[in-house]
Copies of this chain bind each other. A is one copy, B any other.
Amino acid sequence: MSLRIGLIGAGIMGADHARVFAEEVPGTALQVICDADRKRARAAADSTGALDVTDDPLAVVNSSKVDAVVIAAPDPFHAPLALACIAAGKPVLCEKPLSQDVAKCLAVLAAEEKCGRRLVQVGFMRRFDPSYMEIRSLLVRGDLGKALVFHCFHRNVSPAYDFRAEMAICNSAPHEFDVARWMLDSEIRTVSVCRPRAGGDTAPVLMMLETEAGQLVNVEVNISASYGYDVRGELVGEKGTAVLRAPVHADINLGLKQINTYPADWRPRFVEAYARQNRAWVKSVNTGNPNHGASAWDGYCSTAVAAAGVEALHSGKPAKVELTAKPPFYA
């Protein structure tokens, strides 16, 4: 029996999730796709063979034909819909961030703990990217010695809409926050932020994070990088380092140049990460065993780091990340 999925949100991200399930994740059936814009839902359904469409997200959550929910709606809807899924007792893969509001993340934690079952996975797909996974396995095997510094670069061609530095911190950087916590196996305790004045409004945001274990995470989030979508990283250990490699399929030699191409957005870079994440999620739902994906706790932590980041941006000083005590439920 296929896992019947209700997908909420048919924008770029939601449409891509529909494609991933339809083309790359066996054992699933797209039961219904929901979008405030029904035409958009219909287009996504048509190209993926989803059975039904709606504009009512709660109908999806509560449908007896839906076994599990994927939330790819705009950010403000993530937490309310995740709460609805918990209330309905349904597993949910919720796009990041869990919420941009720390309090709402805490509400999800409370609800999940009360319900007694881990139902929420947050869509920090980099944990399933083969490059990050390979580097983490080198660390775990001890090949690199103890981890000391993690350099992260996150670059987009241009902002989707009017750029604000807060967006870089709350919307883009949480990917780094989460993958750094996972890679380094430690919570982030302080955040410093600076930006090159020369860059004006669209200047890259540089952050220095310190973990509880005393590692540093050195982040550039550059939403106006112009040249391409590019995510890089290097883990510096005591004995050596490891460097992320992005997928490249061909070198082209032409006109006194050797060329390979960057994608215009994240989808080609992380196509494999999404496929693996969604398969792992389906497997977890089917077996009841968690995978190494991000829990609601992880989602909360990234948002708390982002909040400290915004504080640091405004104050010009390092900000402390205030975390609630980790419930044993998430151990």
Contact = CB atoms under 8 A, between A and B. Distances in A.
Interface of A: 21-28, 130-131, 133-135, 138, 143-149, 151, 157, 192, 194-199, 203-204, 206, 208, 210, 213-216, 218, 220, 222, 224-228, 230, 236, 238-245, 247-264, 272, 275, 279
A245 B242 contact: no
Contact of A208 (B25, B138, B194, B242): B194
The count of identical subunits is 4
A275 B259 CA distance: 27
A247 B225 CA distance: 25
Contacts of A241: 225, 227, 252-253
A247 B239 CA distance: 22
Interface of A is mostly: mixed
Given A149-B196, A242-B251, A218 B218 contact: yes
A261 B255 CA distance: 9
Contacts of A195: 216
A138 B261 CA distance: 12
Contacts of A138: 250, 252
A104 to B, nearest CB: 32
Contacts of A213: 198
